[in-house]
């Protein structure tokens, strides 16, 4: 009886949580249950909104019209390693990072879509099992980073909108896929540490053709046109489909969250290749409203000083980079392998956890089989 009653209470709290849009820190799956109710109070005060990127539990009063004043309230916004920045390719140092590896990026997820007044964001149900989350690793990242949410930045017209600039070029928008370092267990904890957060930044270029996967998101804007509205995403997306065709060429630097509280905890991965979004779709972003009923536009932070920061660049040479990764995974003499059977045995029996390793390879989709066949990079193995 008690169990049944608990279940009913749980159902009611979940149901109303989704329907009425509890504060986003709760929705983000970032804070524990007790804090959620503290933040509910914040939600009924119209002046207080939860920060987009920081997902901090601190109430915030910021807006994009006056981003230069953020630092008066939030100390971190005045730091030396702020984001976004203009990336000067001529100054970027080429590094032979291993390949960036995506985990669970090719699965469908029961995502919510939310207009939080600052952006449109997509995230997963609270307390989603960490080992099932989409994640990234490799590519020079120090650990595995788990997905927490994705969101967009865009401009009032297509001549502006992105946060990062490449060679002083601003794009029409930017998509951020936010991850926390899995060793910290949650975004809230990770955001306290220098190596806590990894964001994939995808520049959005205006074009004539609709972006088909983005249409699943844009197609639901009628449900979230007002700041504070949340809905279930009717047509699930693969995160993989949001990425540019080339994800192995990217810039990397250490910076901050681009919304208050601006913690300097982010390892930024800015893909060199943009994705294309149609003018029609960008127009749909521009028709959204914030929590005060104003048009939600130009939600990008201006570039910050790079202050001599090192920006690195990975040029995608998958074969070479895989070899480096391979040798870092095991000390066994790869050159002794004489056949595919031996190669597979080698992977299964070597020191690293082969199950873990294969889990990271895109085994589930036959169109990526090519990637698997390239694993031992057979032709270039020195025998
Ligand atoms: Zn962002």
pLDDT tens figures, 71-94: 999 999 999 999 999 999 999 999
Which residues make Cβ contacts (< 8 Å) with residue 22, sequence separation at least 6? Answer: 36, 39, 40, 43
- Indicate the pLDDT class of residue 303, thresholds 50, 70 and 90: very high
Residues 217 and 303 in one domain: yes
Question: How far does residue 339's CA lie from ligand 1's centre (Å)?
Answer: 47
Question: How far does residue 284's CA lie from ligand 1's centre (Å)?
Answer: 18
- Indicate the pLDDT class of residue 319, thresholds 50, 70 and 90: very low
Strands (E), the chain: 86-87, 93-95, 100-103, 112-115, 120-123, 135-138, 145-154, 165-166, 169-170, 173-181, 197-207, 230-232, 250-255, 266-271, 275-278, 312-314
Catalytic positions are 118, 184
Question: How far does residue 150's CA lie from ligand 1's centre (Å)?
Answer: 8
Residues 143 and 270 in one domain: yes
Residues 294 and 183 in one domain: yes
Weakest-pLDDT range from 10-14, 29-33, 173-177, 359-363: 29-33
∠ CA 237-170-146, rounded to 5°: 35
Residue 254: inside a domain: yes
Instruction: Please say whether the beta carbons of 58 and 73 come within 8 A.
Output: no
Task: Specify the number of domains making up the chain.
Answer: 3
- Count CB neighbours of 73 within 10 A: 13
Mean pLDDT confidence for 244-248: 95
Question: How far does residue 322's CA lie from ligand 1's centre (Å)?
Answer: 30
Residues 6 and 150 in one domain: no
Whether pLDDT at 327 is above 70: no
Question: How far does residue 178's CA lie from ligand 1's centre (Å)?
Answer: 8
Question: How far does residue 153's CA lie from ligand 1's centre (Å)?
Answer: 6
Residues 199 and 291 in one domain: yes
Residues 252 and 364 in one domain: no
Question: How far does residue 119's CA lie from ligand 1's centre (Å)?
Answer: 8
Residues 99 and 141 in one domain: yes
Paired tokens of 315: 């040029």
Q: Count of alpha carbons within 13 Å of 165, Cβ hemisphere only? A: 16
Residue 85: inside a domain: yes
Instruction: Please say whether the beta carbons of 223 and 231 come within 8 A.
Output: yes
Whether pLDDT at 185 is above 90: yes
- Count CB neighbours of 302 within 10 A: 12
Identify which of 51, 33, 21 has the alpha carbon closest to the alpha carbon of residue 191.
Answer: 51
Whether pLDDT at 379 is above 60: no
Residues 214 and 276 in one domain: yes
Distance CA 85, CA 208 (A): 28
Q: Which helix (H) or strand (E) holds 189?
A: helix 187-190
- Look at residue 152 in the predicted model and tell me its pLDDT: 98
Question: How far does residue 116's CA lie from ligand 1's centre (Å)?
Answer: 13
Residue 131: inside a domain: yes
CB crowding 53-64: b at 16 or more within 10 Å, else e: bbbbbebbebbb
Mean pLDDT confidence for 24-50: 30
Domain enclosing residue 233, as ranges: 64-314
DSSP state of 221: G
Residue with tokens 């910290």: 184
Question: How far does residue 151's CA lie from ligand 1's centre (Å)?
Answer: 6
Paired tokens of 71: 């630092």
pTM of the full predicted structure?
0.71
Percent of the chain past pLDDT 90, that is, above it, reads 63
């Amino acid at each position: 009886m008690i169990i049944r009653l608990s279940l009913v209470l749980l159902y009611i709290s979940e149901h109303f949580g989704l329907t009425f849009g509890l504060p986003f820190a709760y929705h983000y799956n970032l804070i524990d249950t007790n804090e959620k109710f503290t933040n509910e109070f914040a939600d009924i005060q119209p002046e207080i909104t939860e920060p987009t990127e920081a997902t901090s539990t601190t109430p915030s009063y910021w807006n994009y019209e006056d981003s230069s004043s953020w630092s008066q309230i939030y100390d971190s916004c005045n730091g030396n390693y702020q984001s976004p920045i203009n990336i000067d390719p001529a100054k970027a140092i080429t590094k032979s990072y291993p390949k960036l590896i995506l985990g669970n990026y090719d699965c469908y997820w029961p995502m919510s879509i939310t207009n939080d007044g600052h952006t449109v964001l997509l995230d997963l149900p609270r307390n989603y099992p960490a080992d099932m989350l989409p994640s990234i690793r490799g590519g020079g990242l120090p650990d595995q980073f788990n997905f927490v949410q994705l969101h967009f930045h865009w401009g009032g017209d297509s001549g502006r909108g992105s946060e990062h600039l490449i060679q002083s070029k601003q794009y029409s928008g930017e998509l951020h896929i936010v991850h926390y370092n899995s060793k910290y267990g949650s975004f809230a904890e990770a955001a306290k540490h220098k190596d806590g957060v990894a964001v994939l930044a995808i520049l959005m270029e205006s074009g004539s053709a609709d972006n088909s996967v983005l249409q699943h998101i844009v197609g639901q804007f009628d449900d979230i046109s007002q700041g504070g509205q949340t809905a279930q995403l009717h047509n699930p997306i693969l995160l993989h489909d949001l990425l540019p065709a080339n994800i192995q060429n990217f810039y990397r630097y250490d910076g901050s969250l681009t919304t208050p509280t601006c913690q300097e905890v982010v390892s930024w991965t800015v893909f060199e290749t943009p994705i294309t979004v149609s003018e029609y779709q960008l127009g749909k972003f521009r028709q959204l409203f914030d929590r005060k009923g104003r048009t939600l536009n130009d939600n990008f932070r201006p570039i910050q000083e790079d202050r001599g920061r090192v920006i690195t660049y990975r040029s995608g040479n998958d074969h070479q980079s895989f070899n480096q990764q391979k040798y870092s995974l095991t000390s066994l003499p790869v050159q002794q392998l004489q056949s595919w059977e031996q190669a597979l045995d080698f992977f299964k029996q070597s020191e690293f956890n082969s199950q873990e390793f294969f889990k990271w390879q895109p085994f589930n989709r036959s169109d990526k089989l090519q990637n698997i066949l390239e694993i031992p990079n057979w032709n270039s193995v020195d025998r």
